Structure 1
Amino acid sequence: MNDHPSNCTNGSDETGRATDTGDQSVDFNLGVRDLSDLVSDHAVALFDDEGRVAIWNEGARHLTGYDTDEIVGTHYRTLFPADDRDADRPERILERARSVGKAETEGWRLQSDGERFWAREVLAPIHEDDEVVGYAWFVNDRTEAYERERELRTEKALTESILAAQPDILYAYDAEGNLIEWNAQFQQVTGYDPDELAGMHPLTFIAPEDRDHIRDAIERILEEGERVTAEGRILTNDGARIPYEFNSARITDGDGEVLGFTGVGRNITDRKARERELERLERLNAIVRTIDETMVAAETRDEIETAVVEEFAAADAYRFAAIGRADAPATSPGYSWEPETWAGIDAADEHTEELLSTFIDPPPVADGASPFDTRAVQRYRHLDEQSVEAWRTHAREHDYGAVAVVPIVASDRPLGALVIAADEPSAFADREREVLREFGGTIGHAINAMTVRRLLYRDTAVELEFESSDRGDACIRLSDDLSCELSIDHVLPLTDRAFVYYLTTANADTERVREIARDDDAITDLRCIDAGDDECYWELVVRGSTIPDLLAEYGARLQSKTVRDGVADLTVQVSPDANLRELVDVITSAYPDTRLVSKQTVERPVETRGDFRRTVESMLTEKQRLALEAAYHGGYFEWPTRNSDAAEIAERLGIARQTFHQHLRVAQAKLLSAYFGSAD
């Protein structure tokens, strides 16, 4: 031991090597030297009390690459990477060995050529007379094992991260049906603790009504080796049912023995919801088509409304339906509603009637709005969870889960609302609402068109007379600025907010008419059709809000309109079924300088088909009738290809072609005059 000084009085260099060994040394126990010799094939070294190498065996030389002469006298820290030396890790290990009697560590150590190896080491203090006189260092090269463990850890971490990121559940069962492996998602979905899951049978997690076909699928996997896809609802620990699709395959060993099966389960809740929505949409479209066909044949508004509610109530997907008409109170804003036609529910019950009305005008806590305000379909889903207690109670009593409120609208004017109750809590998705919104417009259009038809064919009508000096009307402005008289002969709707007026002006200069019309933003087109000495017949296009536009919303017609020096007398005919009070309110609100002068019911003679035929025949001369009849039956009006031309028909009648054209044109004019009501 004296050949290897273990203490130094003159310090050391940066590597820990002694710069001067001096004459002092530590005489280590001979047994320690003998131990180093006995384990020469293992890395063993002895350090002095300051951690400098005193004895270095062959195993240490082989492991680190340091020869004895090269390493003896250097400090323990020489074997550590720079980061560890900067962090004083070698000193901390020595101190721990000194204080607790042994220090076991693992970490990177350096060989003489700078290469690293992973060391597992034990550092034990050597005592003499109760004082630490040195340390015994035992080290094992664990580089290969460490690299393998690190690879395994990396693979495990990768696998765990994949499984953790996997939204699907993973499972494995043995051949007896005991759960042996699962991922965290499986545990989270089912709601069981790990101790409970181990060994559980697969059917435990399946809703009872789905167990038979899942059992059959498992048997096919184990007995026939099929890869099976099956759907079933997972029954969770708290009783919830979640639809899943399972894809499973058999597990076998190298000899083909069946060990069990494994698979993946995917949550298909969204897919099932989309499928149900599509089914509901198809059923809804079928109902709408049936009702559309019925509305075409209906003769009254009651027939239309009855057909709508009965068709919905008869469908399996719906529980009941009710329709009420929009009523605009004279003294308050907004509309009131109460059910008038219903099916599938006793709406005559006072409590039910009040409850249905709350869907039209919902309470603030319901997070909804009146369809008369929004003109949009309002929906209330999952009614058994709704904050409105009356809705929850009624829905449970009558077994429905959702309600849609459909505005019935014509030309943006609410005519009423349809309330539909569906059995499914998630009914009335966005696409269903869009179909219902269009359907509400179809009902409104049918009701409006029926009002017009009833006005045309009924033998009585309500005649309203108005007087107006409101310059918001283009014709009144034109008469006022011209200081003339004009009369409206006909109004033709061009688009929703554009009308073609045919009118006659008396004692008005044509150029002055053009000038004033050109300066009026509402008049977009003007054409003089016929000009006489005192009167001119004009065609003009008026855009924007007009009185005919308002009348059309109520199925009313402008019968006559005469304006003298800016004061108009209007006669309007409307069906007795129309909401007269609302119509008058709309007109006087839009044109404040307008007042209702009179209201009366007038008789309107009903003209039959024979009456019309006799009227036309009385207007035609014999030659005009022959020309029209020959042209019609001879194929002259066939288009785009005619079966005969004018020359052929004229020759057949024994008249000149020009004469035939003259007779035909006059006959057509008389026929159209009879149809459009201007026989004069």
Structure 2
Amino acid sequence: MSEEREVGETEEAETEGGTDETRLLATEKVVAAIGDGIYQLDPAGRFVSVNDATVEATGYDRAELLGEHASFLVDEAYVTRVEDEIADLLANEPGGVRAMEAPIRNADGERVPCELRFSVVLSDGEFEGTVGVVRDISWEKRRDAALRAQRDELEQLRHINAVVRSIDRAVVRANTADEVERTVCDRIADADPYRFALVARFDRELETLTIVSRAGIDEEDAERLRRMDFDASDGPAIEAIRNRSVWVVQDADRGDEWGASDSDAGRWSMAFVPFRYDDSIHGVLGVYANRPFAFEGPEREVLGELGEMVGYALSAVKTRQALVSERTIELTFRFSEDDYPFTALTKQVGGTSRFEDAVLHPDGSLLLYVSTEGSDPERVLEFLEEFEGVTHFRAITQREDECLLEVRYAGPMAFSTLANHGGIIRSAVAEEGIAHVTVDIPESGDVREVVNAMTGVFEDAELVSRQTVEQPTETRARFRDTLDDRLTERQLTALTTAYRAGYYDWPRGSTGEELAESLDIAPPTLHKHLRIAERKVLSAIFDEPERD
């Protein structure tokens, strides 16, 4: 019975698990089918077995690998680390598994990042070698590198945005162009991603740049930059101005030109950011980075927004100087322009048109208030209805041969252009197709800049007079400047529109609903802006002035 039972148990074992030979065959098939590389080393570290995945991954034939030492595929430094791990396993954890990363050198000489997992093989307590798994982790490495780059980029953008916000707060309080330029240079040069910054002013007529401020760079380096022709007519700074966008020199060989230290030698990138606002270019900001291919994507966009913000600040400084200057230069221009609505109006319909005021509409167009005399109001309205670029108009008041108009015009205008150069329009009158425009600029202002701005909008504009004018001690402009400091842009827009549209006349020339429609805002929003603005104006008149 015992013999029958033994035979039965043997048959059952063979039926359930197969013979040793069939089990070995099954194991070999599994090893061969696994996608990761599997290998076995003898006690001396030589390959005694490799599966198909190892052969495919390394690019060597199986015959080339078998008998070779592990250093055939792995650098000696990693072989030493593996041997240390094996010694520790044998001494402390014979049944354990160890893992490490190591580059595998394939038949093409490339190093493929891999993860090694291995354990020791013992037979009757004797060390018979190691068995291990090799997994290609190239994809994980690329993914991790991409994630790190993304995190670094987001952190860098966060830092740059913080710098830009600090510049925004600082330039709003600046009183001169020098102060604006110096602030921008200092804050940018102090930002971690950048090494230095410089600002150059632009001469529109000569198309030249003059460095007026720099930070993080000494005179010697500035001279080297000049020798690199950054400001040449075909250089990157001028290209940024011509294209009105950020212009970048990427991955440029620096060599010893900048006296680079070991930590930043090799490559560099530089961005040139135009200071622009509307159609005006005030200069350019140069930003230097110790890294190739800097200023990509969002970083370039942020710098572009910085250029627009600084351009606006420089325009505001010039306008403010014109308002508060004790002496101004008065310039009078004459031009005839058929594409300009109010010269064309007086030429085709007759009479006189006079500029009263202008308000910047939220959509970027100008809301103009113009009075006409000596012409039929109905013919004036018919003319405006057909004129290209006029997107909205209405007669606020009209009598037999005169009217007050509200006109939204999207075409080129001199008003915003002159304001960007510090010019304030004091009067503008058109008659028989010819306009005379008088502009005040600060005594320190650049007359040539303003003349260029006028001829840039009106081709036949001609400067017919220039004189220096003394301003009274307390001027309307000074009071207006005080209000500008107190009122937000929306409040000032609402108040000016209401005043020019006859909202405060009796009877009213415009209702609140009409004003709200002109500004594309809800009537309650309009009334809120007006109420707050009115209180601020009355406060400026009746309250005691603030003391330092």
TM range, normalised to the smaller chain? 0.5 to 0.7
- Provide the C-alpha distance between the structure 2 equivalents of 1:178 and 1:563, rounded to a whole number of angstroms: 98
Task: Pick closer, same or farther for the CA change 1:291–1:673 going to 2, 3 Å.
Answer: closer
Letter of the structure 2 residue corresponding to residue 322 of structure 1: L
Alpha-carbon distance change, 594 to 412 in structure 1, aligned in 2, over 3 angstroms: closer
CA-CA distance at 1:521 after TM superposition = 1.9
Q: CA offsets, 1:321-378, max 9 Å, x none? A: 2221222235xxxx32243211222245674142454377667xx9x98212333323
- Matched-pair contact (CA < 8 Å) for 1:205–1:235: no
Q: Secondary structure at the match of 2:459?
A: coil
TM-score for both structures, normalised by structure 2: 0.66
CA distance in 1, matches of 2:83, 2:185: 45
Q: Which residue of structure 1 aligns with residue 252 of structure 2?
A: 383
1:599: how far off?
2.5
Q: CA deviation at 1:558?
A: 1.8
Q: 1:373 aligns with which of 242, 254, 257?
A: 242
| 2:457 is the alignment partner of 1:590 | yes
1:346 equivalent in alignment to 2:218:
yes
TM-score, with structure 1 as normaliser:
0.54
1:450, distance to aligned residue in structure 2 (A): 2.4
CA-based RMSD: 4.9
Match of 1:295 in 2: 171
1:95 corresponds in structure 2 to none
Whole-angstrom CA distance in 2 between matches of 1:299 and 1:375: 25
Which position in structure 1 is the counterpart of 2:190? Answer: 314
Q: 2:342 aligns with which of 472, 475, 482?
A: 475
Query: Does structure 1 retain, via aligned residues, the 8 Å contact 2:318–2:420?
Result: no
CA contact (8 A) 1:338 1:357 kept: no
Query: Matches of 1:215 and 1:291 in 2, distance apart?
Result: 58
1:199 paired with 2:70, answer: yes
Distance 1:369-1:532 versus aligned 2 partners, 3 A rule: closer
1:283/1:538 Cα in 2 relative to 1: closer, same or farther (>3 Å)?
closer
- Separation in 2 of the partners of 1:423 and 1:670? 50
Distance 2:181 2:40 in 1: 59
* Amino acid across the alignment from 1:394: E
Is 1:484 the counterpart of 2:351? The answer is yes
- Structure 2: unaligned runs, 5 residues or longer: 1-21, 484-529, 542-548
The corresponding residue for 2:272 is 406
Aligned partner of 1:277 in structure 2 is 153
Shift of residue 475, structure 1, vs aligned partner: 0.8
TM superposition shift of 1:280: 3.2
Give 3-state SS (helix, strand or coil) of 1:381's partner: strand
CA distance in 2, matches of 1:396, 1:469: 57
Q: Which whole-Å deviations, capped at 9, do the CAs of 1:610-664 have from their partners, x for residues lacking one?
A: x969x99xxxxxxxxxxxxxxxxxxxxxxxxxxxxxxxxxxxxxxxxxxxxxxx9
The answer for the alignment partner of 1:66 in structure 2 is none
In the other structure, the counterpart of 1:89 is none
The alpha-carbon deviation at position 669 of structure 1 amounts to 11
Aligned to 1:33: none
Q: Structure 1's 206 and 471: CA in aligned 2 closer, same or farther, altered over 3 A?
A: farther
1:250 and 2:118 correspond: yes
- CA contact 2:376–2:401 (8 Å) conserved in 1: no
Conserved in 1, the CA contact under 8 Å of 2:355 and 2:369? Answer: yes
Superposed displacement of residue 429, structure 1: 2.4
SS in 2 for 1:596: strand
Measured at CA, do residues 418 and 669 of structure 1 come closer, stay the same or move farther in structure 2, by a change above 3 Å?
A: closer
SS in 2 for 1:308: helix
Change (3 A) 1:450 1:303: same
Correspondence for 2:230 among 358, 377, 384 = 358
Q: What CA distance in whole angstroms lies between the structure 2 residues aligned with 1:221 and 1:356?
A: 62
Residue 396 of structure 1, CA deviation: 5.9
For residues 503-562 of structure 1, the C-alpha deviation after alignment (integer angstroms, 9 at most, x for no partner) is 221222121212222222233332222234553222222221122232243343322111
| 1:556-600 per-position Cα deviation (integer Å, ceiling 9, x unaligned) | 332211122222111112345554313312322431232111233
Contact 1:584 1:596 in 2 (8 A): yes
> One-letter code of the match for 2:440?
Q
The answer on 1:329 being equivalent to 2:205 is yes
Q: Which amino acid is the alignment partner of residue 417 of structure 1?
A: V
**Counterpart for residue 300 of structure 2:** 433
Larger RCO: 1 or 2 (CA < 8 Å, sep 6+): 2
Give, in whole Å, the separation in 1 of the partners of 2:362 and 2:86. 66
Q: Distance in 2 between matches of 1:220 and 1:591?
A: 87
1:468-617 mapped onto 2 (5 Å cutoff):
468-495=335-362, 498-533=365-400, 535-576=402-443, 578-605=445-472, 607=474
Cα distance in 2 between the residues matched to 1:514 and 1:171: 88
Q: Which letter does structure 2 place at the counterpart of 1:319?
A: R
In structure 2, the CA distance between the partners of 1:424 and 1:493, relative to structure 1 (3 Å rule), is same
User: Structure 1: 5+ residue runs without aligned partners?
Assistant: 1-147, 164-169, 385-390, 617-663, 676-680
Answer whether contact 1:324 1:340 (CA < 8 A) is retained: yes
Letter in 1 for 2:245: A
The size of the alignment, in residue pairs, is 444
CA distance in structure 2 between the partners assigned to 1:234 and 1:465 by the alignment: 79
Residue identity matched to 1:468 = F
Partner-residue secondary structure (3-state), 1:370 = helix
Q: String of CA shifts for 1:298-333, please: whole Å, max 9, x gaps.
A: 222222222222233333432222221222235xxx
Given the alignment of the two structures, is residue 394 of structure 1 paired with residue 260 of structure 2, yes or no? no
Q: Is 1:266 aligned to residue 144 of structure 2? A: no
> CA, structure 1 residues 289+172, in 2 after alignment: closer, same or farther (shift >3 Å)?
farther
Q: Counterpart of 1:463 in 2: which secondary structure?
A: strand
